[in-house]
Structure 1
């Protein structure tokens, strides 16, 4: 029976299924594997079910006993999959299952940031609400406005569809390759053009696009513009975003991911015009169970000698 490390505590049903399939060790901690734990895992286990924060650089693979890393999640930029492939280590992920859940969180952030909901809740909980008055916490409308999507894949299109049909929003987007949709959406030629056109800019680009949204892109946004990020923290130049929010060069931001998470800069946490969530994009039980089962399907197929359902594109 294959020896498999579960690098985090996953939902109970996933742990139970893993224990039926494999000789399982559970790393029962909310913290990612550190370098020492990673090196020990690669030398001891046939397979590892890893997730965000469990970093596997190129240097980790040449001496590895491990033959498969089944990533719990779509993004896998914490794993050097190309180096893994060269070393004969399979890397898989879990695409598709968290599309609507992540799009829903992006919609939540858009509405909260536009209508200053986080600011209002903090006011009320602090006992500072003195009753309704005509100019209190006036925000921005979203109905009928323009939503710009950066990265028009599954999640980007899901958010755009919800925004178009639910709120009558016009959709513009930027994508590296030509894309079409089953609803009205206009592809623009650059990120800056989307930022200048849209009232809300939502990032759905994959990991590996460090600082895709930089100071230049932020400068192109409207003073009433809102930035939403549920993709990866490093896609946004966090320092440039903080500057833009502090100087009120954009209206607000809604963030579910951060460059050095779980660390969030104190300057960012101090901003009333920033809505901050603790990486909730896929945080529903049904979605997390679906992700876990997909990762286990990849492990099960690999050790049974069948083609894995979801290899990353780097795999031969």
Structure 2
């Protein structure tokens, strides 16, 4: 694979003073200033270039700088117009429209810069975990209703996190799984996960495990963004997954509610298949769980992990620019690589 990568990567760049990069969106001024000394840029002036547009514009390009949500499917990567592309660098962690598997097959590195919201998303995950397992909503209302008289051993009994097993599905390419695991270690939790982004700090976790093992063994199952189709096997996380979980376990989700089978969430709560669920959900999807939204063992929040920062695109775009510069100047393994197999 390494020989294939090297042949593809740099044999065709020697005749050009600057590599040419196709960019699928207009860029912030600071990012342009960073890129222009190093590259010839072909910038698409609109949003969401079609596959046909990409086929025409990528023919003489050395790299692709795209954004989460852009469609870079297998059919495009395997198209002759893509044959000169040496790297795909994506701004944003949504991977559902980018065929990483095909890029790997063709020896093309794929870099996905971590979101500045990685840490806040991990915070939100634990907020939901504690909220549903320690019955925060119910306890708050109990106190506000004037029902608290004195402590009782059986009053508002919840499930602690200390020493429990946390299973993490998804979240690998953005480093969110790793950030969640870091917090879990403070609770002395046992951690099992599908995958973590490669890191020199990534020495405490066990080897990757299957989704089935995670569902069967975990006291808390966390689904973290970004989520790939291969992470959950089926198109959406649904009742077939939930029924594999332990009856006293909890499901926590900070992925887009569109990736969940919300009818299954309703079914699981009504049938008491598991102990409780905590999830972020969009306003437009809330009606899909209307019949259970007042259940005490359901913790709901809007996706407020992005509320503390306002310049995500600028930050990630700048990091992506630095990744491209490193790759073409150093001709070595780039930062934020999610398919390291192309270098083996």
Q: TM-score of the superposition, structure 2-length normalised? A: 0.61
Alignment length (residue pairs):
298
Q: Secondary structure at the match of 2:340?
A: coil
2:73 corresponds in structure 1 to 57
Point out the more displaced range, 3-12 or 51-60.
3-12
CA distance in 1, matches of 2:308, 2:257: 17
Gaps of 5+ in 1: 124-128
Is the CA contact 2:116–2:315 (under 8 Å) kept in the aligned structure 1? yes
Q: 1:217: how far off?
A: 3.9
Determine helix, strand or coil for the equivalent of 1:209: helix
**What secondary structure sits across from 2:221 in the alignment?**
strand
For 1:245 and 1:28, locate their aligned partners in 2 and report how far apart those are by CA, in whole Å. 44
Distance in 2 (CA, whole Å) between partners of 1:186 and 1:85 is 25
Give yes or no for contact 1:172–1:188 (8 Å, CA) kept in 2: no
The match for 1:80 among 72, 94, 99 is 99
Q: Which residue, out of 147, 150, 162, partners 1:134?
A: 147
Q: Which moved more, 1:37-46 or 1:155-164?
A: 37-46
Residues 84-128 of structure 1: CA distance to partner in whole angstroms, max 9, x if unpaired? 35557553233697653442232233244446778999x9xxxxx
Partner residue of 1:126? none
1:199-254 alpha-carbon deviations (Å, 9 max, x no partner): 42213596222347653441243555331234687986655334323544334433
2:219 is the counterpart of 1:203: no
1:243 is aligned to 267
Aligned in 2, Cα 1:98/1:91: closer, same or farther, shift over 3 Å? same
Deviation at 1:290, TM superposition (A): 5.5
Residue 13 of structure 1 and its aligned partner are, at CA, apart by 4.0
Give CA-to-partner distance per residue, 1:114-143, whole Å, 9 cap, x none.
Answer: 46778999x9xxxxx9953338xx694545
Classify 1:284/1:6 alpha carbon distance in 2 versus 1 (closer, same or farther; 3 Å).
farther
What is the match of residue 181 of structure 2? 160
Contact conserved, 1:225 with 1:250, CA < 8 A, in 2? yes
- Secondary structure at 2:177's aligned position in 1? helix
Q: How far apart are the structure 2 equivalents of 1:231 and 1:169?
A: 25
Query: Hey, what's the Cα distance between the residues in 2 that align with 1:43 and 1:119?
Result: 59
**2:167 alignment counterpart:** 149
* 2:311 counterpart of 1:294: no
Match of 2:128 among 103, 109, 134: 109
Q: Is the 8 A contact 1:109 1:255 kept in 2?
A: yes
Any conservation in 2 of the 1:112–1:275 contact (CA below 8 Å)?
Answer: no
1:75/1:188 CA distance change after superposition, 3 Å: closer
Residue aligning to 1:219? 243
> Which residue does 1:173 correspond to in 2?
192
Partner Cα separation in structure 1 for residue 309 and residue 27 of structure 2: 12
Q: Per-residue deviation at 1:309?
A: 1.0
Note if 1:25 corresponds to 2:43.
Answer: yes
Structure with higher Rg: it is: 2
User: 1:56 Cα deviation (Å)?
Assistant: 1.3
Uncovered stretches (5+) of structure 2, i.e. residues with no partner? 1-17, 149-155
Residue pair 2:252, 2:278 contacting (<8 A) in 1 also: yes
Between the aligned partners of 1:237 and 1:116, the Cα distance in structure 2 is 24
Give the C-alpha shift of residue 294 in structure 1. 3.4
For 2:14, the equivalent position in structure 1 comes to none
Separation of aligned partners in 2, 1:215 and 1:278: 23
Structure 1 partner of 2:151:
none
Q: 1:47 aligns with which of 57, 63, 76?
A: 63
